[in-house]
Amino acid sequence: MRMRDRKGYLQEIAILKKEAGKRVLDIEECLNNHNLLRKEFKIAIEDSSKKIFSLSDFTEVLAEEKEKLQIDLIDYTHEMDPTNYVKTKLIIAENVEMLTELGLEDLNERKIYSFVIELQKEFLAAFEKDVKRAKTKKEIVDIIYRFRFYKRLPVKKEVFPRSVKVIREEFDAVEKELITKACKSKVLIILSSSIAINFDLFSNLTGSRIIKLEDVVIEFKKKIERPLGSEVKTEKTLLRMYEDTTLESTREYDTFIDDIEVKYNRKIEVFL
């Protein structure tokens, strides 16, 4: 994208946002119109590159595409923010300079991957500085959204930042610092005196498909298991995550968690 041309860059983002919005509307129309859905399904199964075998498969594919596009729409909105534009431009400028220093004519696959890893370290260092500088709730929420977007950017095909061993320590350190600051600044609710539990929840939160994170609601529930014919029972903890009233995911812990700051069987908002 033409980062030097602010007007051109924002126009390109606006076009992408418009196209994504239109596609979301098309998908919604298709999902709500059975005849149109069957028509599109017939077209899809004729395409040998698409592994779709039933109408339910096709419906699920459309629903997943819609979710991804809705997240993209939020990301485009953030990118169009003037302050985010300036930050992105500075980061790209720094990395273009780094790439130039490597020598384009000498680049091979190994060097390119090495550069990408260095780029990840630069991103994480920038995030760490932003977290330390952030003072207002708006600034912290903005960093949470940007970090979530970063987590979804593949380092290479099907490989995402946290799965890269050489940067995992830095990645976790930045995420923990962000979560800690968000809790201390009363942006996120403190769920437990255990840092590990807080980190686990909020790490899953930023990795979720929930579109607007401020709509996240969670609920702790007890689960008791007793094998057939056994006197021994096992107590576990279920952590359910909702987008408003819709269940998004369920996380199961192998033990009963008693050091939480919220009540069991009660839905609570994560963002304060």
Whether the per-residue pLDDT at 105 is higher than 60: the answer is no
Whether the per-residue pLDDT at 102 is higher than 60: the answer is no
Q: How many other C-beta atoms lie within 10 A of the C-beta of residue 58? A: 21
Yes or no: say if 21 and 66 are a contact pair by the CB < 8 Å rule. Answer: no
Whether the pTM exceeds 0.75: the reply is no
Integer Rg of the chain from CA: 22
At 39-98, the pLDDT tens digits run 888 888 776 566 676 777 888 888 888 888 877 777 777 666 655 655 665 565 555 565
* Residues contacting residue 129 through CB under 8 Å, at least 6 positions apart: none
Residue 1 pLDDT grade (very low, low, confident, very high; cuts 50, 70, 90): very low
Domain boundaries in the chain?
Answer: 1-80, 82-187, 210-269
Helix-, strand-, coil-residue percentages of the chain, each rounded to 5? 60, 15, 25
Whether the per-residue pLDDT at 5 is higher than 80: the answer is no
Q: How far apart are CA 266 and CA 217, in angstroms?
A: 10
Q: How far apart are CA 120 and CA 207, in angstroms?
A: 18
